[in-house]
A and B are shown apart, each in its own frame.
Chain A
Amino acid sequence: NAGVTQTPKFRVLKTGQSMTLLCAQDMNHEYMYWYRQDPGMGLRLIHYSVGEGTTAKGEVPDGYNVSRLKKQNFLLGLESAAPSQTSVYFCASRDRSLGAFFGQGTRLTVV
């Protein structure tokens, strides 16, 4: 099983450019999450979804949008990238009783 797959793994953007990060899970999990990881700050929740067609804001949602059109996919969009969005982004999924499963991360640099 692939588990949780994130694409791309690396990306460099210029300030103002847009991009979409894709997260796909093959475990039929209801809940999916997008986090960003920055040194000394742990993982901060950007947005999450409790099911197909639903999304909600986390701790740091500004500058990001998400969509969950299909249960297995959770997309994170940056409409106008800023250097402050340079980070490592992790997607995770879980069902009700298990711990979350994480993707390998996307390293994004905004110059």
Chain B
Amino acid sequence: AQSVAQPEDQVNVAEGNPLTVKCTYSVSGNPYLFWYVQYPNRGLQFLLKYITGDNLVKGSYGFEAEFNKSQTSFHLKKPSALVSDSALYFCAVRGGSNDYKLSFGAGTTVTVRA
């Protein structure tokens, strides 16, 4: 069975500082990995994905994520956080092109203070 772990319930950073949200996964086959962001009382918005190719993936709003196969990780990063980045972030995985299930982590609440 596939699974996703987000080890931190909350991440707090000061505006302008680097932001990292951690994610590790377990899946059979080649992983398809995703990050989503959820603002209060809204649905999830797609940030970025890793399917194949370059391990460093760039996405929306200045976010990027690094795929590390040996550590089965897919950490989300932003070099300089903004107050508007405060939200709930979800990592998700599915096991390759033939796997239909998309499994989510429990989410990490990011708070960026001014």
Q: Is the interface of A mostly helix, strand, loop or mixed?
A: strand
Return the contact of B43 from the options A42, A44, A94, A105 (Cβ within 8 A): A105
C-alpha gap A110/B89 in the complex (Å): 27
Interface SS of B by simple majority? loop
Is A60 interfacial (CB 8 A cutoff)? Answer: no
B104 close to A (CB within 8 Å): yes
Chain A: interface residue total (CB-CB under 8 A): 28
Q: Which of B62-70, B72-80, B95-103 contacts A (4 or more CB under 8 A)?
A: B95-103
Residue on A nearest B101 in the bound complex, by CB: A45
Determine which of A42, A99, A101, A104 lies in contact with B104 in the assembled complex, contact meaning CB atoms within 8 Å.
A42
Q: Please, which residues of chain A bring their CB within 8 A of the CB of B107?
A: 42
Whether A90 pairs with B100 at a CB distance below 8 angstroms is no
Within 8 A of A (CB), among B43-66: 43-46, 49, 51
Interfacial chain A residues near B92, Cβ < 8 Å: 100
